[in-house]
Amino acid sequence: MKYFTFQYVKLFMQRRDFIRLTALGAAATSFAPAFSSLALATDDPPITIEAFRHPGLLHSNEELAYIRARIQSGDKPWAGEWEKLDDWCKQLLELDPEPRRKVVRGPSNRPDKGGTELQRDASAAYSLATAWCLSGNKAYAKKAVGFLDAWSAKLEKLEGHDTKLLSGMAGVKLVNAGELIRHSYDGWKGAGQDRFEVMLRNVFYEPIKDFYPTANGNWDAAMIQTMLGMGIFLDDRKMFDRAVTYYRQGEGNGAITNYFNAFGQCQESGRDQAHTQMGLGFLGVACEMAWKQGVDLYSEADNRLALGFEYTAKYNLGHDVPYEPYTSVQGRYKYKRISDDSRGRFAPIYERAVYHYHYRKGLEMPFTREAAAKPPRPRGIRRGWAHFRWTDLMFERPPGDA
């Protein structure tokens, strides 16, 4: 098998004992995931946090203030990226929410009875809430509340083969929008917030509370991010801890050491690059929200997520990488070789990894940085988006970084 080098030895030298680990400059080693038998019981030991910080999902007050200042100063790239978000939200002001009582999503989104509308409206609510926090334009806040209230007043159930996945993809955007609005805008009435909380617990949490261990790992990853976000928004420590514990030690394909092997190959690398990037992006969101609460999931398993980002970025940039045949938990999926399906089609997931690993922690992350500069595929205003938009604006670099 070919040797290959990711040029960031520093990744393995944050602690002396990293040196004993498999390095990316070494030959690929055997990958035999040790699936945990951990049962997610309700008496899991608590994660050590004093109290939840708000807003404390993807964006903190410090970060929002920093980005506002960069925009007001006309600094690049913030000012230019803000113009894109502002223009988008002006269009969203003309878009009416389309809530459903019951949403059905089947395999590969067929049938699609309200699933696209749910994802679109969740993305709209997040975009509007973000734009409100950066501009102070109350029209954006009011419209964001309109999307949140419309769905929480009507939605009763998610159904279909892809229920867990849809809950994980749409729920995290809704809860991020709700977190920003709740802690910055006085126009969201108490009754609306109460209905929103009920919707989160009854409609979004119920399908995902036990995850989906045998599915491809992006499913678990989607659920981890939403469960984490809901735990923070709801000030529900048990819910938050459940997601953190599963990320670290879960039995399914989406747990960190099951989804990536020791040199960064993903459980879905042999499936296609679109789903691989989905899982990466979802786990990155989970890590960022946990980080805001003082819980470091980014460094779990010796920065395993960073290795996953570098491996996937390198392959999608056209380089060779080692590959070992992978059989998923309980043998449901067997991928014998790396897939070039969707290779080179970059999702907007890399900026957040650069934000943390490169700027906060000082790791080189050369391939991830190069991938972050690649434009993602655009989607129209009436389409859903699996990932968060506006990462070029919101995760350019942290406050205080020169």
- What is residue 66's predicted lDDT score, i.e. its pLDDT? 98
SS3 of 128-164: the string is HHHHHHHHCCHHHHHHHHHHHHHHHHHCCEEECCCHH
CA–CA distance, 267 with 247 (Å, rounded to integer) = 15
- What is residue 379's predicted lDDT score, i.e. its pLDDT? 59
Q: What is the mean pLDDT of residues 107-135?
A: 97
281 contacts 387 by C-beta, under 8 angstroms = yes
Q: What is 9-27+37-394's CATH number?
A: 1.50.10.100
- What is residue 376's predicted lDDT score, i.e. its pLDDT? 74
Q: What is the pLDDT of residues 176-200, one digit of tens each?
A: 999 999 999 999 999 999 999 999 9
Q: Domain residue spans in the chain?
A: 9-27+37-394
- What is residue 80's predicted lDDT score, i.e. its pLDDT? 97
| pLDDT class of 378 with cuts at 50, 70, 90 | low
- What is residue 298's predicted lDDT score, i.e. its pLDDT? 98
Q: Which two tokens stand for residue 289?
A: 């929200």
**Mean pLDDT estimate for the chain:** 89
b/e string for 158-183 if b means 16 or more Cβ within 10 A?
bebebbbbbbbbbbbbbbbbbbbbbe
Q: What is the pLDDT of residues 231-244, one digit of tens each?
A: 999 999 999 999 99
The residue type at 111: P
Residue 167 has pLDDT above 80, yes or no: yes
Q: Which two tokens stand for residue 359?
A: 């700027």
- What is residue 369's predicted lDDT score, i.e. its pLDDT? 98
Q: Three-class SS of residue 339?
A: coil
Provide the 8-state DSSP code for 262. Answer: T
Backbone dihedral angles phi then psi of residue 266, each to the nearest 5 degrees: -95, 150
What string of DSSP letters covers 200-258? IIIIIIHHHTT--TTS-HHHHHHHHHHHHHHHHHTT-HHHHHHHHHHHHH-SSTTSHHH
382 contacts 360 by C-beta, under 8 angstroms = no
- What is residue 377's predicted lDDT score, i.e. its pLDDT? 63
Regarding beta strands 102-105 and 157-159, do their DSSP bridges make them parallel or antiparallel, or are they unpaired? parallel
- What is residue 38's predicted lDDT score, i.e. its pLDDT? 27
Q: What is the pLDDT of residues 215-224, one digit of tens each?
A: 999 999 999 9
Four-point Cα dihedral 66, 72, 76, 80, nearest 10: 110
Q: What is the pLDDT of residues 33-62, one digit of tens each?
A: 322 222 233 345 567 677 999 999 999 999
* CA-closest candidate to residue 267, choices 228, 305, 222, 218: 218
